[in-house]
Structure 1
Amino acid sequence: MNPSRLIYKVFLPLLLMACSTDARNRNPNLQELGFRFEMNLNLPLYSPLTSTGNPVYIGNTGTGIRGVFVMNTGFDQMRAFEASCPNHPPNSCSTMQLEGQNAVCPCEDYEYSLFTGQMLNPPEDGQRYYNMLEYRATRSGDIVTISN
């Protein structure tokens, strides 16, 4: 067999598989916007984030779609999630509300953990349900930067 044919038969399919994207994981309900927002943990509005398990809602215009929930999940690790319910397009009731360490969608009472972003009460109807859309959260000293 010609060595160049062997390369095409063996390596080309491997290359194509490595370059494929998994569009199935993309949430069709939420548009992923680019933004950057900085928080100073010394300010009273953000001081709850200095302790583990205290979430804060950031509703500033241009920060996510419907705002962002930020939580200190321990060991100085911050997590940030979109405040719009991931299981339907944004509408008049899709901005989730904080209930302790969870976010709840007032449309269908879907509940999500702010430690993981996972949906806690998915219906058993065979449909696909999405977890919360997570944003990048980095901490440098007392400054937390949320971005996408």
Structure 2
Amino acid sequence: MRKAILVLIFSFTLLNCDSDGFNNNNPYLPNYSFSFDVNMNLPLYSQLQFVSNGVLITQPGVGVNGIIVFNAGNGVFNAFDAGCPNQPLTSCSTMTINGINAVCPCDNEEYSLFTGLGALQYPLKRYRVEVLGNIIRVYN
């Protein structure tokens, strides 16, 4: 009986674990595979060397509507899709940066670049980030 209980507890624990707690479920923004390196030594991205600064990158094949990379401090960088998370993909659904927030021009909703949270149902679509010296690798 004791072994059966231990097996059940162990099985339950394994089934409820995930590899890294990373969830990108959003019906408006599909999951595209990509990898993009941001070199902070380049003038285009040098402002990322300073805390609370972000850049909008809208190169084809990078995210759904581009990406926003943000320096959250203490060596932490956040990367989010530049597509409005609560809007269908349209001509107005590419976010802009306003200080420490991303703003959706479709509905003027603001999302924190520290947390990705806004007031609506879906937060910003977060991407994985690796920091390798002055290179920030953003990928999905």
TM-score over 0.5 (shorter chain):
yes
Q: 1:136 aligns to what? A: 128
3-state DSSP class of the match of 2:48?
A: helix
1:71-86 equivalences in 2 (<5 Å): 71-86=70-85
Tell me the residue number matched to 1:38.
Answer: 37
Equivalent residue for 1:116? 115
Report the 3-state secondary structure (helix = DSSP H, G, I; strand = E; otherwise coil) of the residue aligned with 1:49.
helix
Specify every segment of 5 or more residues in structure 2 that has no aligned partner in the other structure, as ranges: none
Residue aligning to 2:137: 145
Q: Secondary structure at the match of 2:11?
A: helix
Q: State the Cα distance separating 1:88 from its structure 2 match.
A: 2.3
Report the Cα distance in structure 1 between the residues aligned to 2:96 and 2:110, rounded to whole angstroms: 10
Q: What SS does the aligned partner of 1:91 have? A: coil
Gaps of 5+ in 1: 123-128
Give the structure with higher Rg (CA): 1
Q: 2:52–2:73: 8 Å Cα contact kept in structure 1? A: yes
Paired position in structure 1 for 2:53? 54
Whether contact under 8 Å (2:24, 2:126) holds in the other structure is no
TM-superposition CA deviations, 1:31-77 (whole Å, max 9, x none): 11110001111100000000001110011111000000001111121
Counterpart contact for 2:58–2:67, Cα < 8 Å: yes
Per the alignment, residue 15 of structure 2 pairs with: 19
Give me the CA root mean square deviation.
Answer: 2.5
CA distance in 2, matches of 1:50, 1:79: 13
Runs of 4+ more than 4 Å apart: 9-14
Paired residue secondary structure (2:131): strand
Q: TM-score, normalised by structure 2?
A: 0.84
2-structure distance, mates of 1:147, 1:60: 14
Aligned residue in 2 for 1:104: 103
Q: 1:77 to 1:31 in 2, by over 3 A?
A: same
